[in-house]
Chain A
Amino acid sequence: MSIQEKKAVFNIITSALIMGGYAYYTFVMHAAENMPQILEVQFWAQFTLTMIIVTIILKIISLILFTIIKAIITRAQEEDFMDEYDKKIEMKSERNGNYFFIIGFICSMIPVAMGEPVYYMFIIMLSSGFIGGTLGDLWKIYYYRRGI
Chain B
Amino acid sequence: MNQKHITNNIRTLRFHKDEMTQQKLADEVGVTRQTIVAIEKGKYSPTLELAFRIAHIFEVPLNEVFTYHSTEDKFKKRNQKK
Does B30 have its Cβ within 8 Å of any Cβ on chain A? Answer: yes
Bitwise, B1-21 to A at CB < 8 A (1) or not (0) is 111000000000000000000
The chain B residue sitting closest to A79, CB to CB, is: B32
Q: How many residues of A contact B (CB 8 A)?
A: 12
A147 CA / B1 CA spacing, docked (Å): 5
Find out whether the CB atom of B33 lies under 8 angstroms from the CB atom of A79.
yes
Does A148 have its Cβ within 8 Å of any Cβ on chain B? Answer: yes
Q: How many A-B residue pairs have CB under 8 A?
A: 38
B44 surroundings in chain A (CB, below 8 A) = 85, 147-148
Knowing A84-B46, A84-B47 are in contact, say whether A148-B31 is a contact too (CB < 8 A). no
B31 surroundings in chain A (CB, below 8 A) = 83-85
Does B24 have its Cβ within 8 Å of any Cβ on chain A? Answer: no
A147 CA / B42 CA spacing, docked (Å): 8
Chain B residues 59 to 80 lying within 8 A of chain A, measured CB to CB, are: none
A79 CA / B36 CA spacing, docked (Å): 13
Bitwise, A41-83 to B at CB < 8 A (1) or not (0) is 0000000000000000000000000000000000000010101
Question: Which of A2, A83, A84, A148 lies in contact with B1, CB distance below 8 A?
Answer: A148
A83 surroundings in chain B (CB, below 8 A) = 30-32, 35
Chain B residues in the interface with A (C-beta under 8 A): 1-3, 26, 30-35, 38, 41-44, 46-47, 50
